[in-house]
Amino acid sequence: MNPEEKVAALLQEAGVDLVLSLPCDRVKALHSLLSGRFRHVPLTREEEGVGIAAGAALSGLRPAMLVQTSGVGNMLNALASLTLLYQLPLFIMISWRGVYREEIVAQRPMGRYVPRLLEALGIEFVEVREREEIQDIAPMAEAAFREERVTAALLSPKLWEGSTAAAAGAPGRRRVRRRSLSLEEATAGYTRYEMLSEIREMLRGKAVVCNLGVPCKELYSVLHQPSNFYMLGSMGMATPIGLGMALGTRREVVVIDGDGSLLMNAGCLATVAEVAPRNLTILAMDNGTYGSTGDQPTAALRSADLGMLAGAMGIGSVCRASEPEQVLRAMRTKPPRFVHVVLRPGNAPVGNIPLSPVEIRRSVEEFLRDED
């Protein structure tokens, strides 16, 4: 058995049912094998994979990630302020570049730093340097799901030497077709709080992922329900979390995201378009500012058009709205849908959310997993 096949078999035994990945030259054969045997989501950035894995875990899936050492650096904040904060399970396989016959000098620093970074985060890991050590992957993966925590395995490039497993070849000839998208102009009349107040009945009974900071507090004030996932950190992860949830549930999932958050992690829109879940709605609450930090302007205030961005990324149903009736009408289009909600800046004087991260997590899990 090739080492790649052994890794896949161990993941299957551990119950992994979702693999999220970005490619690495050293594990290209493993990457191809896993994408063929597991439900697979290709990522635009490692950080979004942490968000998707979090949402997937909330809805009962068992996620694993395959990244290289340089990608771990892109994941650190999301791991700390989302996965570890809410005590969610995740198993990470890391192609350990920079430590074995590495010719690319830029790979060497992270190869040295990653073990210490994992230790600093309190993430238990194993170093898999020899083929006979591949079996050590199984206990790490099983512990992640049994004990609801993050674990990892550092996979040395030495493991794949002499393997006959083949990577998938390059895709065939492609052609980029022109997509036409016409969106009406919109003039902001409502603040985010006012809009949430008007559309709250549309949110009732749905799984709702809300962007961090004041948006979460406003949603709690307008419509607190057990199915609301209030983000307490990890900016930029609202849409990835919603996508992960949608992969593991038949329930309708609504993401209340913001312009600053989406601009920070715009690649996630391409992933939404690629996966195309039929139960996902993204409400892009665009007030042109970073509202939770003092209303500093974002690029969306005068230049960036989030609706056109979502359309260019490939999301099929894109609408613009500035009135509650327009939002409700957009909800009747074919999902996945992206509603660019144009708003005035301003925050409502609402209090903090009196819930712990684990309380938020358990409440949403119970809602998502009780579908009968």
CATH number at residue 81: 3.40.50.970
Q: How far apart are CA 267 and CA 88, in angstroms?
A: 23
Mean pLDDT value across residues 207-236: 97
- Which residue, of 104, 136, 160, is where some domain finishes? 160
Phi, psi of 155 (to 5 degrees): -105, 110
Helix (H), strand (E) at residue 5: helix 3-13
pLDDT at 124: 98
Task: Tell me: do 97 and 201 sit in the same domain.
Answer: no
Task: Tell me: do 60 and 7 sit in the same domain.
Answer: yes
Residue type present at position 13? E
Task: Tell me: do 202 and 138 sit in the same domain.
Answer: no
Q: How confident is the model at residue 372 (pLDDT cuts 50, 70, 90)?
A: low
**In-domain check, residue 166:** no
Averaged pLDDT of the chain: 96
What residue numbers bound the domain in which 280 lies?
A: 192-369
**In-domain check, residue 221:** yes
Beta-bridge mates of residue 284 = 257, 340
Q: Give 334-348 pLDDT, tens digit per residue.
A: 999 999 999 999 999
- Which residue, of 160, 180, 213, is where some domain finishes? 160
**In-domain check, residue 335:** yes
Task: Tell me: do 205 and 66 sit in the same domain.
Answer: no
Please give the biggest Cα pair distance in the chain: 64
Query: Does the pLDDT at position 115 exceed 60?
Result: yes
Here the tokens at position 19 are 């693999």
Q: How confident is the model at residue 369 (pLDDT cuts 50, 70, 90)?
A: confident
- Which residue, of 160, 179, 202, is where some domain finishes? 160
Task: Tell me: do 197 and 143 sit in the same domain.
Answer: no
As for how many domains the chain has, the answer is 2
Using a pLDDT cut of 90, give the percent of the chain over it.
92
Task: Tell me: do 270 and 324 sit in the same domain.
Answer: yes
Q: How far apart are CA 244 and CA 144, in angstroms?
A: 18
DSSP-assigned states of every residue in 258-294: EHHHHHHTTHHHHHHHHH--TTEEEEEEE-SEEGGGT
* CA-based radius of gyration for the chain: 21
Task: Tell me: do 115 and 240 sit in the same domain.
Answer: no
Q: How far apart are CA 96 and CA 326, in angstroms?
A: 50
**In-domain check, residue 178:** no
The SS3 call for residue 247 is: helix
Q: How far apart are CA 17 and CA 99, in angstroms?
A: 30
Alpha-carbon distances of 127 from 28, 70, 95, 111, rounded to whole Å: 19, 17, 11, 12
Task: Tell me: do 197 and 156 sit in the same domain.
Answer: no
Using a pLDDT cut of 70, give the percent of the chain over it.
99
**In-domain check, residue 165:** no
pTM above 0.75, yes or no: yes
The SS3 call for residue 71 is: helix
Task: Tell me: do 247 and 306 sit in the same domain.
Answer: yes
Q: Give 127-172 pLDDT, tens digit per residue.
A: 999 999 999 999 999 999 999 999 999 999 999 999 999 888 888 8
| HSE-CB of 277 using CA atoms within 13 angstroms | 26
Task: Tell me: do 256 and 320 sit in the same domain.
Answer: yes
**In-domain check, residue 173:** no
Task: Tell me: do 206 and 322 sit in the same domain.
Answer: yes
**In-domain check, residue 167:** no
**In-domain check, residue 8:** yes
Task: Tell me: do 333 and 240 sit in the same domain.
Answer: yes
Here the tokens at position 47 are 């950080």
Query: Would strands 317-321 and 337-342 be described as parallel, antiparallel, or unpaired?
Result: parallel
In the numeric block, the tokens 């395959």 are attached to: 66
